[in-house]
Amino acid sequence: MLVLGVPERVVMQIMGWPSTAMAARYQHVTGGILADVAQRLGGLIREVANDADDSSTEGSDESR
């Protein structure tokens, strides 16, 4: 369920686990999950940087 992106609270309910410690113990983060998160973060970081560049460029055009 971790690979599918199911929220931890939902997994806990389905599995009958009473605490997040149980989820942490039995759900193992795989290399594929880590790669997916790294790719998403990389895209987000690039998007934020591009937005910042665009807004600073727009500001300089208005001052002319």
The pLDDT tens digits along the chain (64 residues) read 888 889 999 999 999 999 989 988 888 888 888 888 888 888 777 777 778 778 766 655 554 4
What is the predicted pLDDT for the residue at 18?
94
What is the predicted pLDDT for the residue at 40?
84
| Cβ neighbours of 18 (radius 10 Å) | 8
What is the predicted pLDDT for the residue at 49?
77
Q: Which helix (H) or strand (E) holds 2?
A: none
Amino acid found at 45: I
Please state, in angstroms and rounded to a whole number, the distance separating the CA atoms of residues 24 and 32: 17
What is the predicted pLDDT for the residue at 59?
55
Please state, in angstroms and rounded to a whole number, the distance separating the CA atoms of residues 18 and 35: 29
Cβ-proximal residues to 52 (8 Å cutoff; 6+ apart), any chain:
none
pTM of the shown model: 0.49
